[in-house]
Structure 1
Amino acid sequence: MAQPTEGMTNFAEIMKDAVTEEFGGKHLNSLTSLTTALRTPDFRADVKEDVFKGLKTVLEKSFTAVKRLDKEAEEISMSLQMATECFRSLRNACIQCLNNQCRLRELGFIDTTVGILSVLYKRQYKQPDHLSDALRCGIQFLGNLAVQNQKCQDDIWEHGFPQLFLGLLGVSDEKAIAYTCMALHTCLNEQKVEQLTKQQDTFAVALKVMELCRTQPELDWTILIVTEHFLKSKKLIEKMYTAMSPQDRLTLLELISAHLGEGCEESEECGILPATGEFLAYCFKDSCKSVLLIDSGSPADDEEAIIVIRLLDILCEMTSGRKEFMFLQDCKDLLETTLVLLKEVHVLGKDGANVFSSAQNFSHMLGTGDVNSHPIVSFKAHLVRLIGNLCHKHIDNQNKVRNLDGIALILDNCSIDSKNPFISQWAIFAIRNILENSVENQEVVQALKRQGVADDSILKEMGYKVEDRDGNMLLRPLKKDQ
């Protein structure tokens, strides 16, 4: 490889000719050599400003040609190749080199690059091969320019947001979309996330990211944008949830659920705001009756029902001893809503054979296929689980369950149900929480007449035994040898 000084001198001389001559093979070869040389850290650190100025001249000349993509196909093809190689050189020049990032910003490369990309994404179907390469490399350059450089991030945001980002997220080239998401993720911070909620065109970027999470789940950058940035804004999450399609809303809930399931128990690590938990509880209360319409034959009803099911899953996870979310025990009407829904589902399940009926044979009750994938599986069990969570060491909620006749209802769900794996265990857990340190609730169980609401073996698992005296069930603690 040529020495840095020699290589840069040769490049500068060749680029001078490119200003007045038509782009040709010698210019492209010189750029390719520079791209290769800039992979070397020592070369990157010693690049003279004349080299960057030469690249700027080439880009600007390419920009002029690119704007007339419908003419002179051969010239346009070479201009696109030159722009692509310029972007490759610039991309390499930014790698772990703060000085080069700053110099390129000061020389106006951001504005020029945004201008070129704004033309390219609108004409992505012309000169498809070379145009796609230029598009990808230009986005990569902006992404590398932004890494750990706040001033570059802010300038890219100022020049390219929201129109450029929104346009690039809508191209047909999946790699270009991935690089755009990487650049967007790098530029985002708390202030910029809040900006997404300000206007319709800025908000459209957030909605597009969520759409990509659903349609292209293999794009890790979209998931990182949501989990590391969007979830930290209560305002954005609420606005997105309200505006999104049911399919994208479900995708958001699945991301939240997966994020909660990663094992983070501290609020600063979880990345989900308590206020978001409160909002999701409100959404559950507001729409929970939709689940009763599942399998009604309407795809829209099924979508809304599945959303309720996912909301319930999230609330169960949030209230499973996570300190930052246990305030949900005091959430107005959440316990009442859950109890009423459990009663309605339970009664509906006993009213003939339907999707909520208890069963031992999935395929017989839910039809053919992979029945374990049916969204209603475990729904009733999770209602019982949430009730148990909300009553844990919470006397007011324990009293509410008693006053709403919920104790017998939960005991009546101790039977094994193949549609609700572990429902008997969740019922045991819920009853234990409802009875703990509550004399009144214990007396209710003691006063229950034997009506098949629970059998002795279930209560024994909770550490109690039942004695029948004059037709009444008395609850007694088990001795150690029993």
Structure 2
Amino acid sequence: MAASSDSMQNINSPLCQIASGVVEGTTTPLQIATEKRTNTHLTTLQTVTKALRDEQFRASVDREALGNLFAVLSRLSVDVEHLIENMDSQEEEASVCLKLTAECFRAHRNACVQCSQNQCCLRDLGSIKLSFEILARLLKISSGGANDIYDALRCGIQFLGNIAVGNQLCKDDIWVLGFPHIFWDLLELADEKAVSYTCMVIHTCLDEHKTEQLVKDTQQLKLSLKIMDLCRTLPDVDWTVFIVTQHFLKSSELVRKMYTQMTNEERLTLLELILAQLGVVEEENCLMPLSAAQFLASCFTDHCRAVLTLSSESLDDQEALVVIRLLDILCEMTSDCKEFMALQDHSDLLSATVDLLKKVHLLGKTSKNVFTAAHDFSLTRPGGADTHPAFSFKAHLIRLIGNLCHGHVVNQDKVRELDGIALILDNCSIDSNNPFISQWAVFAIRNILEHNLENQKLIQGLRRQGVADDTILREMGFRVEERDGSLLLRPLKKDP
């Protein structure tokens, strides 16, 4: 049902009264500042807010009513400025002013819900610019943490979010006025709801072009890193995750610059997000460009030896933990994700992985440490080995080697040249520190041998040195025969 002229008049008249002096221009700033707002005004605004919840009424609101609502906000902007200039104002007077400001923002917020007409009208009136001015003033007095101040801030931020939804002009205005400094101050607030709403506004306004701007200077990159930090410190705020996964990760340059500036602890947060998203993002909506994945692969190859410190040092070696998480990500990316399979052609990835497997395997054999094969499958393992950060690390190295060799002759040959085949066969034994390592070894050997006669000949020519496990090879569809001191690989005969 459309709004009647009577109901519209019932809103316009009291709004004009609240905004008197601003609309007519008949009152001096001093008089405006000294006139008191009352709870009667608050009740009037609450009536407007409630009326604007109705979709049909909202769609029928005329420009005059929105103009009067904007005039009220303008008047309240002066009142908020007066609060700053007179910090010794009476507590009751200040509280009414802040409650009125919050309620006026609520009315603006409701007016914009799925209504582009009202969004455009309020934008033309200057409500976005005015809202930022009020938010900036509220931020100056927010250190006290008063609930009325936070309530006004929250409602103002929500209004910006609603006026931006589906309206590119409003998004662009908000970005110009709020980015990066006011957004930064809002994200610094000690109020989780206000921070969450600010992230909602940022997410709504961001697009490919604005995301690319984030790398232009230090202040903009600083805001990006702040949002990344909020992913860790405020895990219940989903908007931070949406910003990172739906916008930040789409820019290779931003990923590179953020990663370079981060501490290892911050890198772990980013990598955990990437790993979590790899399993849920659909192929047509790729998580990140190939160049960003290649950057992560280079980070792994450049720093992978840091994981060796886990054989003797504290479990809190953050650089080693980063390497482990990078390996997990590379395993997922090369597990038949078409957009990332070009990682098979990364110049150093396979070599670094095989070399690292050699080193951790040797460490495990020469001394007792986390890389040493174990056979304790009890539910309560001494030392909590199954929670050690290097748990399954060797298995994942072998998995990555297998992925990189799938259908890739050059990599198959490289593994042979690096003496990686015998190394993988030597990891076919059951190891409780690396569950499923034998299965990953079978998988890797299959990919290394497939359509590669040289590699098949190598295995056939292996002499018995304790590296070949006939049971494992049988799982692959082969059997081992000994002839003249050599091991020959034969296909298993299928049962008739």
SS at 1:11 equivalent: helix
User: What's the CA shift for 1:296?
Assistant: 4.3
Q: 2:397 corresponds to which residue?
A: 383
Amino acid at match of 2:476: M
Give the Cα–Cα distance (whole angstroms) in 1 for the partners of residues 64 and 281 of structure 2. 53
Q: Which moved more, 1:70-79 or 1:177-186?
A: 70-79
The match for 2:8 among 5, 8, 13 is 5
Give the Cα–Cα distance (whole angstroms) in 2 for the partners of residues 297 and 365 of structure 1. 23
Give the Cα–Cα distance (whole angstroms) in 2 for the partners of residues 40 and 436 of structure 1. 66
SS at 1:39 equivalent: coil
- Please say if 1:71 is aligned against 2:74: no
Q: 1:257 corresponds to which residue?
A: 275
- Please say if 1:445 is aligned against 2:459: yes
Distance 1:363 1:350, change over 3 A: farther
Distance 1:113 1:257, change over 3 A: same
For residues 50-61 of structure 1, what are the structure 2 equivalents within 5 Å? 50-61=64-75
User: What's the CA shift for 1:48?
Assistant: 2.9
Q: Which moved more, 1:359-368 or 1:231-240?
A: 359-368
Q: 2:17 corresponds to which residue?
A: 14
Q: 2:442 corresponds to which residue?
A: 428
For residues 395-406 of structure 1, what are the structure 2 equivalents within 5 Å? 395-406=409-420
Q: 2:294 corresponds to which residue?
A: 278
Q: Tell me, yes or no, if the aligned pair for 1:12 and 1:50 is still in contact at 8 Å.
A: no
Amino acid at match of 2:238: D
Q: 1:214 corresponds to which residue?
A: 232
For residues 78-477 of structure 1, what are the structure 2 equivalents within 5 Å? 78-126=96-144, 128-262=146-280, 264=282, 266=283, 268-294=284-310, 296-298=312-314, 302-361=317-376, 367-369=382-384, 371-477=385-491
User: What's the CA shift for 1:210?
Assistant: 0.5
Give the Cα–Cα distance (whole angstroms) in 2 for the partners of residues 82 and 365 of structure 1. 60
SS at 1:475 equivalent: strand
Amino acid at match of 2:407: K
Q: Tell me, yes or no, if the aligned pair for 1:350 and 1:357 is still in contact at 8 Å.
A: yes
Q: 2:57 corresponds to which residue?
A: 43
Give the Cα–Cα distance (whole angstroms) in 2 for the partners of residues 263 and 428 of structure 1. 29
User: What's the CA shift for 1:13?
Assistant: 4.0
User: What's the CA shift for 1:438?
Assistant: 1.4
SS at 2:170 equivalent: helix
Give the Cα–Cα distance (whole angstroms) in 1 for the partners of residues 220 and 59 of structure 2. 37
Q: Tell me, yes or no, if the aligned pair for 1:11 and 1:34 is still in contact at 8 Å.
A: no
User: What's the CA shift for 1:59?
Assistant: 2.4
Q: Percent identity?
A: 55
Q: Tell me, yes or no, if the aligned pair for 2:19 and 2:75 is still in contact at 8 Å.
A: no
Give the Cα–Cα distance (whole angstroms) in 1 for the partners of residues 392 and 429 of structure 2. 14
Give the Cα–Cα distance (whole angstroms) in 1 for the partners of residues 434 and 162 of structure 2. 50
Give the Cα–Cα distance (whole angstroms) in 2 for the partners of residues 365 and 291 of structure 1. 25
Give the Cα–Cα distance (whole angstroms) in 1 for the partners of residues 459 and 350 of structure 2. 20
User: What's the CA shift for 1:215?
Assistant: 1.1
**How many residue pairs are counted as aligned between the two chains?**
478
Distance 1:79 1:226, change over 3 A: same
Amino acid at match of 2:494: K
Distance 1:195 1:263, change over 3 A: closer
Give the Cα–Cα distance (whole angstroms) in 1 for the partners of residues 209 and 122 of structure 2. 25
User: What's the CA shift for 1:125?
Assistant: 2.9
User: What's the CA shift for 1:326?
Assistant: 1.2
Q: Tell me, yes or no, if the aligned pair for 2:428 and 2:437 is still in contact at 8 Å.
A: yes
User: What's the CA shift for 1:52?
Assistant: 2.6
Give the Cα–Cα distance (whole angstroms) in 2 for the partners of residues 37 and 263 of structure 1. 41
Distance 1:173 1:362, change over 3 A: farther
* TM score, norm. by length of structure 1: 0.95
Q: Tell me, yes or no, if the aligned pair for 1:77 and 1:127 is still in contact at 8 Å.
A: no
The Cα RMSD (Å) is 2.0
Amino acid at match of 1:235: E
Q: Tell me, yes or no, if the aligned pair for 1:58 and 1:82 is still in contact at 8 Å.
A: no
Q: Where does the alignment leave 5 or more consecutive residues of structure 1 unmatched? A: none
User: What's the CA shift for 1:31?
Assistant: 0.6
User: What's the CA shift for 1:74?
Assistant: 2.8
Distance 1:13 1:406, change over 3 A: closer
Give the Cα–Cα distance (whole angstroms) in 2 for the partners of residues 447 and 165 of structure 1. 66
SS at 1:368 equivalent: helix
Distance 1:54 1:413, change over 3 A: same
Q: Tell me, yes or no, if the aligned pair for 1:355 and 1:366 is still in contact at 8 Å.
A: no
Q: Where does the alignment leave 5 or more consecutive residues of structure 2 unmatched? A: 23-31
User: What's the CA shift for 1:481?
Assistant: 2.9
* TM score, norm. by length of structure 2: 0.92
Give the Cα–Cα distance (whole angstroms) in 2 for the partners of residues 230 and 366 of structure 1. 41
SS at 2:143 equivalent: coil
